[in-house]
Chains A and B, each alone.
Chain A
Amino acid sequence: MSSSLSVRSRAMLGVAVAALALAGCGKGGEPVAGAADAAQRVYVAPGQYDEFYFFTSGGFSGQLGVYGLPSGRLLKVLPVFSQNAENAYGYSEETKPMLNTSYGFVPWDDSHHPELSMTGGVPDGRWIFINGNNTPRVARIDLTDFTTAEIIEIPHSAGNHASPFVTENTEYSVAATRFSVPTPQADVPIASYKENFRGLLTFIKVDSATGRMKIAFQILMPGFNYDLSHSGKGPSREWSFFTSYNSEEASTLLEVNASQKDKDFIAAVHWTAAEQCVQDGKAKQVPARYAHNVMDPKSHVATSTIETSTTFLDARDCPGVVYYLPTPKSPHGVDVDPSGELIAAGGKLASVIPVHSFSKMLKAIEDKAFDGEVSGVPILKYDAVLAGEVKEPGLGPLHTEFDGKGNAYTSMFLSSEIVKWSLTDFTVLDRIPTYYSIGHLSIPGGDTKQPWGKYVVALNKITKDRYLPTGPELTQSAQLIDISGPKMQLLLDFPTIGEPHYAQAIPASLLTEKQIKTFDLATNADPYAALSESATGVTRSGRTVHVKMTSIRSHFMPDNIEGVQVGDSVYFHVTNLEQDWDVPHGFAITGLNNAELLIMPGETRTIVWVPSKVGVFPFYCTDFCSALHQEMQGWVRVSPRGSSVALVANKPAGQ
């Protein structure tokens, strides 16, 4: 007993020594800023607001997390690509069309990169976009009510990873295919990859007034994997940059076969030249099938339209639209500094961080400083476009953002750290460990012309021992690091939903004033809305029963319904008559096979119930709304099929 204890304590000692050794470079449970000091700097007093909204992608959850910074408090999980039973997103009749695709109803996706809309290269707080990676889609979320307003499918794409990064004035959101596939799709041998597989860089036009998206054109590219993207700004504003790997064009065991070449490419796309090319008639219309799903802002009813055509632009047909910048070893991030001149690439297997110069790139194009071509796309000479290299930055550079004070911050996946380096001489200035295996990082406005360079957040892939263990599946995590001084200081770890793949932050003041508190009941245009209790009622059409119902503290109208039969499809159209802040009502009935409704004030939501048993079944409000919430209930009488019980519902008093 005692010997086993001593073995254990020796093992503990070993861990302690290791911890001490790491403490020298800033490890430990203690934040490097000092616990008390760090606690004060992330403390947001009860009732006070955070300084920033922080939007994290939900990764494989398909949703968008909304947090406050610096507290790291979770404010909302905003459903985008995945059904959400707690408010019936993707279950209610009004929202189901949002998840329609050319593959049918797809109730899930893998969401990676939130991207705030911009005006003049700075976030304007109108919308946030996020990509669906698996079934290629881009969603637009309205930041006045924090709901998904639109989802567009990307035709002919496979793995929409380099997306949905926007241009300086949100003229376009981009969507580049991660997996090259036969384009258009075809039944061909996988071994015919080099011959048949192509990549696609899609430009989605965003209407400047409404935000409405439209596939503008898709550029056919060599069959590489297109990984990440950023658009230029300032002098480079008419260009978008895409990293690519697998320039080996391997189709099996990519981990080795796509890692053979010293250099892969960044594709530089001159999108105004591409527009010209389309105007000049060099593009061609190609058949396609893709869903375009829009939530109507008046009725809050979504519609899904299947589009049947898209515009292809072959890079070979339009010289001057695309150039390749050689970039070491399977680059991931491609990040343009606030001035628009420097383009940092994170070659995840590279030993340096190459930084390209936009002005040198233009000069190299002018001088035709080419080093061959791939499928008609000229490759610029590495030395002709290089501004400099950050030497010995660490291992596995992935993604870079900027603080607006002349510094860049790059995440290092393998050495699990953030490295701060100078944009003037490309020297490493500081480094700080992350726990563990950081992927993306995020500085508020860190990819824009005017970063709010106060914090960097590490978005980690692994948490291991950082939190109370919860079985094999552990929480995901982000880490808040202060970058206001010369040395980075770890302030806070906070858990996040899904995989916090990438995130963007915006000062809260840009959003708080325009928040909608209730939807205007008087302008509710849902075709099944009951704008008052006297407009409620029940109707039957064959085996379908429509119930127009209202909810207000603390009753439903009607709350007694008879004449429903087993096997009927009962559509409960519930309108929340409240016009008061923070008074949603819920609706649920025994045996509901899909989800409960959560109805915002002034809104109508519809759920379908198919009763399978004879009896009298209660329904009730699920969102604790008032002192008499527990009384907010009713009953539906279900009779056998073919019963003579008449379909009736009670009416408000006096009618």
Chain B
Amino acid sequence: MSRTTRVIVALAALAMAVVYVLPLWHIGLEAPQYPEGIGLYIAVDKIVGEKPQDLNSINGLNHYIGMKAIEPDDIPELRFMPKIIAGLIAAGILVAALGKRGLLAGYAVTLLLFSLAGLADFYKWSYDYGHNLDPHAAIKVPGMSYQPPLIGSKQILNFHATSWPASGGWVLIGAVGLIVALALLDYRRARVAAA
């Protein structure tokens, strides 16, 4: 690993720490009755309303269709995610300090797997909320489920739902992308040098 690569890897790893202050993901809902929109921010350790009362309001609306209330305390990921991120940051700094090519490649693969696992977990939760509905709900639409899109936008009854990375999420994506790109670059450089 070149000196520049090592510095960038260390900085990218450190940059991931912003997820402790900035949210990872945003789910937005708009409807005729909600011109101002309501939404949720998913952070590494909590789920909060876009406006102070939005989580309450969303839970209130969701009870009509029999969706479980979103109770952040019941989601274990919010407890161990901060530790995983801390581990990943520490690992990144270690990789940069040791400067071994193989370690960088391993680190990049770990980050990619972590990202995929995170998305899969998000999908699992949203699938559960969207499909596992109270059979006694007031509003039952045959065949209808209420899972928000994994990423992008979707019309769910009168609500237009959007799901996109939030500021912290973009930083995380940028940091992971950068480290993966550096690992690839380093790998190619090594092959060129070998040939």
Contacts from A to B (Cβ < 8 Å):
518, 552-554, 578-581, 626-628, 631
Contact = CB atoms under 8 A, between A and B. Distances in A.
Given A518-B53, A627-B139, A628-B138, A578 B64 contact: no
B2 interface: no
A627 B53 contact: no
Contacts of A627: 64, 139
A628 B60 CA distance: 13
Contacts of A518: 53
Nearest to B63: A553
A580 B60 contact: yes
B57 A628 contact: no
19 contacts: A518-B53, A552-B60, A553-B60, A553-B64, A554-B138, A578-B60, A579-B52, A579-B53, A579-B56, A580-B53, A580-B56, A580-B57, A580-B60, A581-B36, A626-B64, A627-B64, A627-B139, A628-B64, A631-B138
Contacts of A578: 60
Given A578-B60, A580-B53, A628-B64, 11 more contacts: A518-B53, A552-B60, A553-B64, A554-B138, A579-B52, A579-B57, A580-B56, A581-B36, A626-B64, A627-B64, A631-B138
Secondary structure type dominating chain B contacts: mixed
Interface string B13-41: 00000000000000000000000100000
Interface residues of B, number: 9
A552 B60 CA distance: 8
B56 to A, nearest CB: 5
A354 to B, nearest CB: 53
A646 B139 CA distance: 35
Contacts of B139: 627
A531 to B, nearest CB: 12
- Point out which of A580, A581, A626, A628 has the most chain B C-beta atoms below 10 A from its C-beta: A580
Contacts of B138: 554, 628, 631
A151 B32 CA distance: 40
* Of B57, B64, B139, most A-chain CB atoms within 10 Å: B57
A626 B52 CA distance: 21
Contacts of B52: 579
Contacts of A579: 52-53, 56-57
Interface in B33-85: 36, 52-53, 56-57, 60, 64
A580 B36 CA distance: 11
Give the residue among B36, B52, B60, B138 with the most A Cβ atoms within 10 A: B60
B40 to A, nearest CB: 14
Main secondary structure of the interface of A (DSSP, over half): loop
Contacts of A581: 36
Nearest to B60: A553
A519 to B, nearest CB: 11
Contacts of A631: 138
B63 to A, nearest CB: 8
Contacts of B53: 518, 579-580
A196 to B, nearest CB: 60
Nearest to A553: B60
Nearest to B49: A579
B91 to A, nearest CB: 41
B136 to A, nearest CB: 10
A517 to B, nearest CB: 9
Interface in B82-131: none
B10 to A, nearest CB: 43
Contacts of B57: 579-580
A26 to B, nearest CB: 41
A137 to B, nearest CB: 36
A489 B64 CA distance: 54
A518 B60 CA distance: 15
A579 B49 CA distance: 12
B4 to A, nearest CB: 49
A625 to B, nearest CB: 11
Nearest to B52: A579
A563 to B, nearest CB: 28
B64 to A, nearest CB: 7
A194 B52 CA distance: 64
Contacts of B36: 581
A516 to B, nearest CB: 12
Contacts of B56: 579-580
A626 B138 CA distance: 12
A-B pairs, top 6 by smallest CB distance, nearest first, are: A579-B53, A580-B57, A579-B56, A628-B138, A553-B60, A580-B53
Nearest to B56: A579
B33 to A, nearest CB: 9
A627 B139 CA distance: 10
Nearest to A602: B53
A555 to B, nearest CB: 10
Contacts of A552: 60
Contacts of A628: 64, 138
A518 B52 CA distance: 11
A518 B57 CA distance: 12
A553 to B, nearest CB: 6
A610 to B, nearest CB: 33
A552 B61 CA distance: 10
Nearest to B55: A579
B159 to A, nearest CB: 13
A628 B138 CA distance: 8
A61 to B, nearest CB: 32
A593 B79 CA distance: 54
A580 B52 CA distance: 10
A552 B56 CA distance: 11
A628 B139 CA distance: 10
A595 B60 CA distance: 28
Nearest to B138: A628
Contacts of A554: 138
A554 B138 CA distance: 10
Contacts of A626: 64
B135 to A, nearest CB: 14
A518 B36 CA distance: 14
Contacts of B60: 552-553, 578, 580
A654 to B, nearest CB: 13
A552 B36 CA distance: 21
A654 B64 CA distance: 19
Nearest to A580: B57
A82 to B, nearest CB: 32
A366 to B, nearest CB: 60
A631 B60 CA distance: 16
* Residue of A579, A627, A628 most packed against chain B (CB within 10 A): A579
Interface string B138-180: 1100000000000000000000000000000000000000000
A553 B58 CA distance: 12
A627 B36 CA distance: 20
